Amino acid sequence: MSVHTRRLVLASGFALPVLAVPSLHARAQGAREFRLGTITPPQHTWNVNARSFGEELRSASNGRFSVAQFPAGQLGNEATMLQQLQTGALDMSWMTTAELSNRVDAFAAVHAPFLVSSVEGAIAMLRSAPALALLNGLPQSVGAVGLRYGMTGLRQMLTRDAVTSLADIRGRKMRITPSAPIRDFYTLIGTAPTPLPLPQVFDALANGQIDGLELDFESVVNNRFQELARTMLLTNHSAFPMVGLVSARVWATLSPSDRELIRGLASKHIDAQCDGMIQVEVDNLRRLQQSAMQIRPVGADFFGDAVAQWDRQWGPRAPALAQLRALPRV
Note the residues at the interface with ligand BEZ (CB under 6 A): 39-40, 96, 152, 177, 198, 215-216, 219
Q: CB-wise, 131 or 215, nearer to ligand BEZ? A: 215
End-to-end Cα spacing for the chain: 38
Q: In whole angstroms, how close is the CB of 27 to ligand BEZ at the nearest point? A: 35
Beta carbons within 8 Å of 232's beta carbon, 6+ residues apart = 156, 157, 158, 159, 220, 226, 288, 293, 294, 295, 296
Q: In whole angstroms, how close is the CB of 11 to ligand BEZ at the nearest point? A: 18
Q: In whole angstroms, how close is the CB of 216 to ligand BEZ at the nearest point? A: 6
Q: In whole angstroms, how close is the CB of 61 to ligand BEZ at the nearest point? A: 28
Q: CB-wise, 54 or 241, nearer to ligand BEZ? A: 241
Q: In whole angstroms, how close is the CB of 322 to ligand BEZ at the nearest point? A: 27
Q: CB-wise, 219 or 238, nearer to ligand BEZ? A: 219
Beta carbons within 8 Å of 51's beta carbon, 6+ residues apart = 18, 67, 69
Q: In whole angstroms, how close is the CB of 259 to ligand BEZ at the nearest point? A: 26
Q: CB-wise, 61 or 102, nearer to ligand BEZ? A: 102
**Helix, strand, or coil here: 326?**
coil
Measured distance CA(67)–CA(244) in Å, rounded: 13
Contact 86, 143 (CB under 8 A): yes
Angle at 216 between CA 215 and CA 219, to 5 degrees: 85
Contact 216, 240 (CB under 8 A): yes
| Residue (of 79, 322, 32, 325) closest to 196 by Cα position | 79
Q: CB-wise, 22 or 241, nearer to ligand BEZ? A: 241
Q: In whole angstroms, how close is the CB of 148 to ligand BEZ at the nearest point? A: 16
Taking the CA atoms of the chain, what radius of gyration do you get in angstroms?
Answer: 20
Q: CB-wise, 93 or 96, nearer to ligand BEZ? A: 96
Q: In whole angstroms, how close is the CB of 255 to ligand BEZ at the nearest point? A: 32
Q: In whole angstroms, how close is the CB of 197 to ligand BEZ at the nearest point? A: 6
Beta carbons within 8 Å of 295's beta carbon, 6+ residues apart = 231, 232, 234, 288, 289
By beta carbon distance, the residue nearest ligand BEZ is: 177
| Residue (of 265, 294, 52, 292) closest to 148 by Cα position | 265
Q: CB-wise, 38 or 61, nearer to ligand BEZ? A: 38
Contact 79, 195 (CB under 8 A): no
Q: CB-wise, 211 or 216, nearer to ligand BEZ? A: 216
- In order, the DSSP letters of 20-63 are ----HHHHHTT-EEEEEE-SS-TTSHHHHHHHHHHHHHHHHTTT
Q: CB-wise, 152 or 273, nearer to ligand BEZ? A: 152
Measured distance CA(295)–CA(316) in Å, rounded: 35
- The pairing of strands 92-96 and 32-37 is parallel
